[in-house]
Amino acid sequence: MPSPAMLMHLLLDAVTLREQVRVPEPELVMIDAASTEAFMMAGREDGLLAHTYLYHAIQASTVIAPGARVVDLGCGPANQLALIARLNPEAHFIGVDASESMLELARDTLVRCDVHNVELCQSSMEALHGMADGSVDAVISTMTLHHLPDLATLQAAMHEAKRVLKPDGGIYITDFGRLKREAGQAFFANDRKARQPAVYTQDYYNSMRAAFSLADLRNAAGIFGATANVRRTFLVPFLVVIRSAGSAPFRDSSRQAARALYASMSKQQRYDFRDLSRFFAHGGFPLAFKPW
């Protein structure tokens, strides 16, 4: 359950009318070695984001059918992608990232996690070179859109995603939504600063400032037409999901893998996972499968 301080920030943001101006990330974000290392470690099985990654792995799996060819836009060090690939061993994944240093980390992640159904490709989200029209069954992207410099690039990336996606293909794209109050952004970034490196706290804050607004993300989802729905966390768009309307059944093998991953989490991670699930569920986006 949210703390009284968090609930206060959520309520204040919900009643604020004025939109905050977007502040793009510093130009060298995720090129700096310390930032890259902090981000990679946060996404590991014992990291701060492990509960978030399992949540999105479960939800994204509902748009991935057996044998599907799936592209992950902005895969970064592939912690999230490796998890989704483990839940969907029958599918084939293409992790796309513009940064060679990130792809180098992704290769290490895939080896460490013993994942073999992923290939990596260096390319920008807004120009998917070498990928033919209608060549993938699903497009996924997690916590990447805020790295884009502006609305024009966001629109270009979504047009590229639609171009390579087969008709009626699966979509699962999620990112921060821009809160209306700078105080709320600072609160979320610093809420657990005692448990995270200072550089991670700063990057978290920069990410929240660089998030696109709910209206921006709804406009981006409109590029996919009526096949995409927009979901958000309760009260405020702290997190936003663009998801295709149809869904694949949650398979027994995926259930077993999700249960095993959940069981391996610490008590705090399991608590955070359930808390995030409730945050989305109260906003109208229930968890596809409860692994407890």
pLDDT (tens digit per residue) in 176-212: 999 999 999 999 999 988 888 888 899 999 999 999 9
Asked if residue 27 has pLDDT above 70, the reply is no
What is the average pLDDT across 106-121? Answer: 97
What is the average pLDDT across 273-287? Answer: 97
Give pLDDT, residue 48: 83
CA distances from 13 to 6, 19, 154 (A): 11, 10, 24
Q: Which tokens hold the place of 35?
A: 């930032």
φ/ψ of 256, rounded to 5, equals -65, -40
Strand partners, 254: none
- Packing angle, helices 267-281 and 50-61, rounded to 10: 50
pTM assigned to the model? 0.93
For residues 248 and 70, is the Cβ–Cβ distance under 8 A? Answer: no
Asked if residue 84 has pLDDT above 60, the reply is yes
What is the average pLDDT across 220-246? Answer: 95
- Give the CATH architecture of domain 4-281: 3-Layer(aba) Sandwich (3.40)
Q: Which tokens hold the place of 233?
A: 């966390």
What is the average pLDDT across 131-154? Answer: 97
**List of residues 6+ apart from 265 with CB closer than 8 A:** 50, 51, 54, 273
Q: How far is CA 20 from the centre of its chain?
A: 22
**List of residues 6+ apart from 106 with CB closer than 8 A:** 75, 76, 77, 78, 81, 95, 97, 120
pLDDT tens for 4-23 read 899 999 999 999 999 999 99
Q: How far is CA 207 from the centre of its chain?
A: 12
pLDDT tens for 39-81 read 555 445 666 889 999 999 999 999 999 999 999 999 999 999 9
User: How sure is the predictor about 26, in pLDDT bands with cuts at 50, 70 and 90?
Assistant: confident
Residue ranges covered by each domain of the chain = 4-281
What is the average pLDDT across 250-259? Answer: 92
CA distances from 247 to 44, 55, 87, 209, 285 (A): 28, 16, 15, 32, 13
Strand (E) or helix (H) holding 218: helix 214-221
What is the average pLDDT across 263-281? Answer: 96
For residues 177 and 112, is the Cβ–Cβ distance under 8 A? Answer: no
For tokens 């502040």, the residue is: 23
- Where residue 76 falls (left for φ over 0; alpha for ψ -120 to 50; beta otherwise) is left
Give pLDDT, residue 257: 95
φ/ψ of 253, rounded to 5, equals -65, -35
Asked if residue 35 has pLDDT above 60, the reply is no
pLDDT tens for 92-111 read 999 999 999 999 999 999 99
